[in-house]
Amino acid sequence: MNSPAAGGGISLRNILFPTDFSPCTETALAYAAELAHRFDSTLHSVTVVSEQIVDYVQPPDPFYLRHTAEKKMAIVTHLEVLQGIRHRESVKEGMVLEVLSDLIERLAIDLVVLGTHGRGGVKQLMVGSVSEEIINSAPCPVLTLGPHAPCISGSHLKLKSILYATDLLHNPEKALTYALWLAEQDHTRLTLLHVVKPPNDPHSRDPQLEVESKRKELAQLLPSEGAASVETECIVEMGVAGDQILKVAEKQGVDLIVMGPPHTAFTRISAHLPWITPHKVICHAPCPVLTVRG
């Protein structure tokens, strides 16, 4: 398995911040603005007046919806958090996922920053999540701020510890490249984590041998030349992937989790399944979660 080069030509020239003006997006905007300031990026804030109105017996006037969105976006334009960075604001109409996908391609977006309500259970199953549809389909990395992510308003983002979680199956090098690159920015401690399922068959391979095998596989992902400024550790746990990722994140007090999205051809279906590992992690993580498609 080839080791990724730390940095890998990564840049964040354009950051996309979709918003519906709900409280959960305020934290996301603070992170998006801080990243834009730090990496000299252009921040593109957008809200979509969606055609997907399902909560009204009689849909409201679309002109009223657009006018309301434009008034709210005008307020965003003058927020203090955006001062000192290049930023553009826009109001679009159409299907949310289609509009955002078009913007990501047309504006050459390098990162999407999302706030999410972190809905779960039956409500998630019926309603789904636009955030997770974007995570599952965006060609660029997506940084998601769930309900438990700390607010950085008025302070600078400092990553002291990063957790990279991988299933070791679907091109793990790309997500690791981002984890290493971010770790090098702040000389951050980086933990590589893989979770092994408990054996169902009592006569199967010794679980400890499986753990040691996977730990070696994790170590082989790291660049052979190493990164002098990054302290790394490889951990293999046994159990349910989502639970173990959250457990390690909490125990180590990590500032960022990096992982891959669900691997499925059915984007909309996976966004409605609350038991999918990334969904569980995003909803309950004590920090932002960066998902990187392989």
135-162 tens-digit pLDDT: 888 899 999 998 899 888 666 778 899 9
* Domains of the chain, start order: 10-115 (3.40.50.620), 154-294 (3.40.50.620)
Tens-place pLDDT, residues 160-181: 999 999 998 877 888 999 999 9
First to last CA, the chain: 14
With a CB cutoff of 8 Å and minimum separation 6, the contacts of 22 are 115, 117
Q: Nearest CA to 94 among 25, 142, 57, 47?
A: 47
Does pLDDT of 243 surpass 70?
yes
* Confidence at residue 206, expressed as pLDDT on a 0 to 100 scale: 78
* Confidence at residue 6, expressed as pLDDT on a 0 to 100 scale: 53
* Confidence at residue 157, expressed as pLDDT on a 0 to 100 scale: 78
Kindly state the average pLDDT of the residues 193-207: 80
* Confidence at residue 266, expressed as pLDDT on a 0 to 100 scale: 43
Confidence bin at 197 (pLDDT 50/70/90): confident
Lowest mean pLDDT among 210-214, 269-273, 282-286: 269-273
- CA dihedral sign of residues 235, 282, 252, 177: positive
Amino acid at position 5, single letter: A
* Confidence at residue 119, expressed as pLDDT on a 0 to 100 scale: 57
Does pLDDT of 86 surpass 90?
yes
Q: What is the mean pLDDT of the chain?
A: 83
| Run of H or E residues at 235 | strand 231-238
Tens-place pLDDT, residues 14-36: 999 999 888 888 899 999 999 99
- Distances from the Cα of 106 to the Cα of 16, 94, 103, angstroms: 11, 16, 5
pTM value is: 0.86
Does pLDDT of 274 surpass 70?
no
**φ, ψ at 91 (rounded to 5°):** -120, 125
* Confidence at residue 265, expressed as pLDDT on a 0 to 100 scale: 46
Lowest mean pLDDT among 58-72, 82-96, 228-242: 58-72
